[in-house]
Amino acid sequence: MLYTDATPTPLSCITAILEKNKNIYELKFEQSITLGLSISDAAISITEMYLAGKPARKKVKAADRNSYFWSCRFLTTSSSELYESEPFTLALARYMEQDKIACFDLVHHIAKIAPETVRRAVRYSKLIQRQQSERWKEIEKIADIETKEFSEFIRVCHFFDQANRERVAKVEIYRAPLIELSPLELLTYASLYAFEYLVPKEFSQDKNTDNNEMQATWDAINDTLIWKLTTTEDTFHISEETIGNSLRDHLSPFLFPSPELPKPRDDIYQALVLLIDAQIELNSFLSQSVNAFCYDDSIRFEFSGSELIIVQLLPNEENAWHRNGEKLSRLHNYWYYRALESFSSTEIDTFLIERLGNNEMNFYAYMKATTTYLQLTEVYGLDKSILVKTGLQVDLFQALLSLDLMSAFYNMDYILPYQNYLTETGNSRQALSRLAMEGLTQGLQNRFPITWSDRQTKIKTIQPWTVSENFPQGHPLATEAILDFWTNDLKALSSRLRNNEPTQKPELFELPILKMGRYLFQLPWMAALQNNSTAAINNLRRLGSRRAGARKETEQIEHRLAKCFEERGFLVCLNYQPPKAEFEDPGEVDLICIKDGHLLVLEVKSTFLRKSTQDAWLHKTNTLRKAGLQLRRKVKAVETALVSDAELALALNPNKNEITSVNSWIVDTSIEHDHELFSGFLKVSIEEILIALRDDSHLLNDPDGLFSSKTINIDESLMSKKQNPSTLYPNGFSGGCFVDVIERQVV
């Protein structure tokens, strides 16, 4: 029975409404049966239509779409084939995510036929974190009836709920002493924490330093700032006096203890330390336990006595996530070697290199910026310049270089001296005090754990980083655009968070210049230690996914990929539009390539770098699953067009040679779920395709040993002129060999 807003509606009324306002899903189901589909295939087809958000949102509201789908008569008479299918499981998870529509009888019916589908839907919807919702009450009611199938599952869910409540309560306890702090004051204490705990770990000689532990701490600090912005109002009218008073009360007592100053607020600092620990514990529980329970089908949680344990079902799937970390490390090596290659080319900006001076840190910053620039242009389709939200055009390389030069500056002028003082004193506060005093005695330079300046001063400071032959003193407008590119307006973000507006929550490192009032703040420890490549990619692809130029960039990915195939001798048809079928529009085919009788049909996707199993799962079940369905339609249309479209046939097969194989791949900017099948089609990363086409996979293996230790000899690297020690194609490149290299994961 169907309900709206949890208020019972008689079935007879629903039937009358549907007959009057024809249910689009019922109509499509009937059409599918008429076209010859089996009942099960027709039902799965309609489920896919529902998941795809069709009919279009402008025509039908999401709530109405839910009402129509869950009132379909064929759902109550379907077989286990539908209920156990992946599309229906995802649809049921979507039902669990909302509270406006109820159909308990149907869910109970499904639970009797396909109990695992209901359990998976509960997991995928994260219903275990909403155990006050109407949908959870339905599941508990079903468990009371179907005790054997659900009692253990419900027990596990209750365990997670209790454990989550305990950790959330702990976080709330340690947040309480920090409620009265302003965002500036919170960041001040966070910086004291970072210099005491994070910086020494990052530069520790201990090879067992855990990068995941470092990331967990960064995440906890970021979550704490987001909490503060969500609960803070009217604290962004900052003046020089405001900054002075905040530092006098909350920073100076730690660095310069004096009877004239207030006592250090160790109570607040210790509360922050405990809060970060508690937030790390909560985040770890959510990512390693809750997310694993909800999204990892390779494991099962079960009780051994009173203890909850993990049972491995598919060990290889769990290992894939860890292998992705190794892949990212190897790809970093690859792009750095590509940057070294470009350094010896005529494309290098020798004027800028000379102006940066003979400084190894600055040179290394230039190389890192080149590394990211190559990745952004070749993989993500970016142009040399991009439009920022203030309307200014920013030179992409200069924007990347500015961030890497900031890192170099803060490493040289803050982190390295601090490390020396810390070694001498053994005390982080004394080391910070000496660092700050050194700055004050050297021309009143700011060497505090948090830095600030007004916008115009900041522009003058970094303007030399935009020098060129046309602007030997730098370009103020270019500098202004760079600042806008990396700036996070905390007042605007706070407003969106407090008003519950849909918004992407930037991580600190993605937009590392923090705007409060007319002042721009930076955290030296963060600027020195952050991963600038990931910052740039996610700034553009995650936070900036709806930028005006984002769609054009996706098109450019396709164009540049087409060029790479053409350079290898493939014939390429770009953005082919097959004719529409009577009941199906296959849509535009991104790339069709052919060489030596091997035809490739490619569906290109562009996304961002993910760091959680939830994000990876969402990518798999949304973007990649849909891509597989799209490719299924497109391959069928291409095969038909090669016979019926003489122009396409002539373009791809002018000599009318036999097409020996048709290979269809989803080609994605991300590496998640590489070499998995979606609707029977292989998913591979764009980087793997590019490396296979260029035949330079040896660069993945650090051939010069640049990354075998933290000491990098730039001169030796540039002098090294090694020949390619291996090739992916010992018998020569061909269409068949290329396909074999990709499908056998040779790269």
62-74 residue pLDDT tens: 888 899 999 999 9
CB neighbourhood size of 53 (10 A): 11
687 closest CA partner among 667, 665, 663, 707 = 667
pLDDT of residue 2 exceeding 60, the answer is no
User: Bigger pLDDT: 20 or 649?
Assistant: 649
Angle at which helices 240-250 and 183-193 cross, to 10°: 40
Query: What is the distance between the alpha carbons of residues 297 and 318, in angstroms, rounded to a whole number?
Result: 9
**Token duo for residue 527:** 């600027």
- Band (pLDDT 50/70/90 cuts) for residue 400 is very high
**Tens-digit pLDDT profile for residues 189-233:** 999 999 999 999 887 655 455 667 888 999 999 999 999 999 987
Q: What is the pLDDT of residue 17?
A: 47
Q: What distance in Å separates the CA atoms of residue 559 and residue 575, rounded to the nearest whole number?
A: 9
Q: Decide if pLDDT at 721 tops 90.
A: no
The residue with greater pLDDT, 392 or 400, is 400
Q: What angle in degrees, to the nearest 10, is found between the helix axes of 86-96 and 62-70?
A: 120
Instruction: Spell out the residues 6+ positions from residue 472 whose beta carbon is closer than 8 angstroms to its own.
Output: 355
pLDDT at 324: 81
C-alpha to C-alpha distance for 82 and 109, rounded to whole angstroms:
13
Check pLDDT > 80 for residue 301.
Answer: yes
pLDDT per position as a tens digit, 541-598:
888 777 777 788 889 999 999 999 999 999 999 999 998 876 678 899 999 999 999 9
Phi, psi of 486 (to 5 degrees): -105, 5
**Distance separating alpha carbons of residues 448 and 192, to the nearest angstrom:** 10
Cα–Cα distance, 298 to 312 (Å, whole number): 6
Q: Name the more confident of 86 and 56.
A: 86
By the 8 A CB rule, do 588 and 648 touch? no
pLDDT at 14: 44
> Is beta strand 307-312 parallel, antiparallel or unpaired with respect to 299-304?
antiparallel
Give the torsion sign (CA, 321, 325, 328, 333).
Answer: negative
3-state secondary structure of 669: coil
Average pLDDT over residues 455-463: 90
pLDDT higher than 90, residue 539: no
Averaged pLDDT score across all residues of the chain: 88
Residue whose C-alpha is closest to residue 696's, from 337, 322, 388:
337
- CB atoms closer than 10 angstroms to residue 624: 24
Q: What is the pTM of this model?
A: 0.88
Cα separation, 185 vs 262, whole angstroms = 15
| 734-741 contacts, C-beta under 8 A, 24 or more apart | 734/595, 734/596, 735/570, 735/594, 735/595, 735/596, 735/597, 735/598, 736/596, 736/597, 736/598, 736/660, 736/661, 738/568, 738/595, 738/598, 738/692, 738/693, 739/598, 739/600, 739/661, 739/663, 741/692
Helix (H) or strand (E) holding 550: helix 550-567
Give the tokens for residue 645: 């479209």
∠ at Cα 199 (194, 203), nearest 5°? 165
pLDDT per residue over 468-496, tens digit each? 777 778 888 889 989 999 999 999 999 99
| Chain segment 74-94, per-residue pLDDT in tens | 999 999 999 999 999 999 999
Any residues with CB less than 8 A from the CB of 189 and at least 6 apart, and which?
Answer: 178, 181, 250, 268, 269, 272
The pLDDT assigned to 725 comes to 57
Q: What span, in angstroms and rounded, lies between the C-alpha atoms of 709 and 727? A: 26
Please say if the pLDDT value at position 250 is more than 50. Answer: yes
> Residues 109-146: pLDDT tens digits?
999 999 999 999 999 999 999 999 999 999 999 999 98
Q: What local confidence, expressed as pLDDT, does residue 711 receive?
A: 45
pLDDT beyond 50 at 3 = no
With a CB cutoff of 8 Å and minimum separation 6, the contacts of 335 are 371, 372, 374, 375
Beta-ladder partners of 310: 301
| Cα gap 181→168, rounded to integer Å | 20
Q: Which residue has the tokens 């296959």?
A: 586
